[in-house]
């Protein structure tokens, strides 16, 4: 019988990776998961990821039956707490439930980091637009208003005046599962992330991503001089230890400002934004497979490559709200040097909703090359060549 992994959260790439590794995967999904996942051959069950621990455990045990998994793997942000609850119940490696709850609450996470002496912008909870405006005036505009437990920048607003603060807080409070609103000082500077694999408390591999345009375009590896890159790795190691992140894959966002490096937030699951695919292209290993391996109690023996094979980046495509009237320049985009993958699902007459988070896209372009500067230039060219007219 093949080893079994309990995948918590629906991401097709994780299920495909389990198959490549010769693992059986049982899928525990959140309510509202697309129906196509119900046909997953390793077994499928649906439960609210906001349910009480006893309800989560009962759903998992019904799904597993007599089978005993070797790992519980959270692959979405909302899966982090349920996966921690189930790993503890099954005696498997993972976050303790109390640590998972801290990581899912941006206010509590920042307090944990600050208590450990790790630089980060303090996030403070706000219960109303009026309270948010008062806090913004205290710390100074611009401020960042975000949902305490969201992912993919959904609901995040950089507010520059009181009306924007009030609207952002009201919108977050109307959103189910947001955890309420939080407000923090805006940190000007470059945005980065560090992707890492850990096993038994040891960070085994790290790489740095540069956000060329946060939420839209990414570049790997980040263009940082080695001393600064080393500081970023050291800071992230300290942050992971402070949050008791001992197993699996993490995605930590950072800011590089005139005051130095600061942690933005830590995500205890594989990243979105196409970063897993870029990692695989650049480093030549199965990124999703390693994410699963590093959730297992047996520490992986294989050393992963530290050096990237050139550079790679992507840009996501979405024209904004309106009705598409005309799409121009796509053929020009396809002829740009280094374009290795390109998808566009846009045609005249399409009615577009606003883009609320990084998961909403109508296409993407992936670029590779020997030089990070050239890849960044090509990605900027993609955005300038593709012209979408809306009405």
In tens, the pLDDT along 134-174 reads: 999 998 999 999 998 876 567 789 999 999 999 999 988 88
In tens, the pLDDT along 38-57 reads: 999 999 999 999 999 999 99
pLDDT at 88 over 90: yes
Q: What per-residue confidence (pLDDT) applies to 298?
A: 83
In tens, the pLDDT along 111-123 reads: 999 999 999 988 8
Q: What per-residue confidence (pLDDT) applies to 68?
A: 96
- At residue 179 the predicted structure's pLDDT band, cuts being 50, 70 and 90, is confident
Q: What are 288's two structure tokens?
A: 């999703």
204 in helix, strand or coil?
strand
CATH topology of domain 188-309: D-amino Acid Aminotransferase; Chain A, domain 1 (3.30.470)
**Sheet strands (E) in the chain:** 4-8, 24-29, 44-46, 71-74, 123-126, 143-147, 157-159, 181-185, 190-199, 202-213, 217-220, 248-257, 260-267, 311-316, 322-328, 339-344, 351-352, 363-369, 387-390
As a whole number, mean pLDDT of residues 242-255 equals 97
pLDDT at 190 over 70: yes
pLDDT at 288 over 70: yes
- Are 246 and 223 contacting, i.e. CB atoms less than 8 angstroms apart? no
In tens, the pLDDT along 92-107 reads: 999 999 999 999 999 9
State which CATH number among 3.40.50.2020, 3.40.50.620, 3.30.230.10, 3.40.50.20 fits the domain covering 4-92: 3.40.50.20
Domains 122-185 and 312-390 share a fold: no
pLDDT at 176 over 60: no
CA-CA distance, 323 to 329, in Å (whole number)?
18
CA-CA distance, 129 to 144, in Å (whole number)?
13
Q: What per-residue confidence (pLDDT) applies to 188?
A: 86
Report the top-level CATH class of 122-185. alpha beta
Which of 379, 17, 362 minimizes the C-alpha distance to 210?
379
Q: What per-residue confidence (pLDDT) applies to 183?
A: 93
In tens, the pLDDT along 332-354 reads: 999 999 999 999 999 999 999 99
Q: What per-residue confidence (pLDDT) applies to 151?
A: 65
Could you tell me the residue ranges of all domains in the chain? 4-92, 122-185, 188-309, 312-390
Q: What per-residue confidence (pLDDT) applies to 254?
A: 96
CA-CA distance, 113 to 327, in Å (whole number)?
46
**Sheet strands (E) in 88-127:** 123-126
Q: What per-residue confidence (pLDDT) applies to 103?
A: 96
pTM value > 0.95: no
Q: What per-residue confidence (pLDDT) applies to 374?
A: 97
pLDDT at 191 over 60: yes
- At residue 175 the predicted structure's pLDDT band, cuts being 50, 70 and 90, is confident
Q: What per-residue confidence (pLDDT) applies to 152?
A: 58
CATH topology of domain 312-390: D-amino Acid Aminotransferase; Chain A, domain 1 (3.30.470)
Q: What per-residue confidence (pLDDT) applies to 382?
A: 98
pLDDT at 319 over 70: yes
Q: What are 233's two structure tokens?
A: 């790795």
């Amino acid at each position: 019988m093949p080893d079994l992994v309990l995948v918590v959260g629906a991401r097709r790439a994780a299920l495909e990776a389990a198959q490549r590794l010769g693992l059986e995967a049982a899928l525990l999904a959140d309510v509202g998961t697309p129906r196509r996942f119900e046909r997953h051959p390793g077994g499928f069950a649906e439960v609210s990821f906001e349910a009480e621990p006893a309800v989560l455990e009962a759903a998992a045990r019904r799904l597993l039956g007599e089978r005993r998994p070797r790992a519980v793997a959270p692959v979405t942000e909302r899966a982090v707490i349920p996966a921690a609850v189930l790993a503890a119940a099954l005696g498997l490696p993972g976050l303790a439930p109390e640590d998972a709850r801290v990581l899912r609450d941006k206010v509590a996470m920042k307090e944990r980091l600050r208590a450990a002496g790790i630089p980060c912008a303090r996030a403070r909870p706000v219960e109303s637009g009026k309270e948010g405006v008062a806090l913004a005036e205290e710390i100074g505009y611009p401020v960042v208003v975000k949902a305490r437990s969201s992912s993919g920048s959904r609901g995040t607003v950089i507010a520059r005046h009181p009306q924007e603060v009030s609207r952002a807080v009201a919108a977050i409070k109307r959103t189910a599962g947001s955890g309420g609103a939080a407000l923090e000082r805006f940190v000007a500077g470059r945005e980065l992330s560090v992707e890492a694999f850990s096993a038994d408390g040891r960070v085994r591999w790290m790489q740095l991503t540069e956000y060329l345009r946060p939420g839209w375009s990414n570049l790997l590896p980040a263009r940082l001089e080695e001393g600064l890159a080393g500081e970023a790795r050291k800071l992230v190691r300290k942050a992971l230890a402070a949050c008791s992140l001992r197993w699996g894959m993490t995605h930590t966002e950072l800011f590089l400002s005139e005051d130095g490096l600061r942690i933005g937030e830590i995500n205890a699951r594989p990243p979105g934004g196409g970063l897993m695919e870029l990692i695989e292209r650049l480093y030549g290993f199965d990124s999703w497979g390693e994410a699963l391996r590093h959730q297992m109690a047996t520490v992986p023996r294989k050393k992963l490559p530290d050096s990237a094979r050139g550079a790679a980046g992507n840009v996501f495509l979405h024209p904004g709200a309106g009705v598409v009237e005309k799409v121009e320049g796509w053929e020009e985009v396809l002829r740009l040097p280094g374009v290795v993958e390109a998808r566009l699902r846009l045609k005249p007459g399409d009615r577009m909703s606003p883009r609320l988070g990084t998961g909403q896209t109508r296409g993407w372009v992936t670029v590779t090359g020997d030089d990070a500067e050239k890849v960044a230039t090509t990605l900027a060219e993609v955005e300038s060549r593709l012209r979408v007219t809306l009405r």
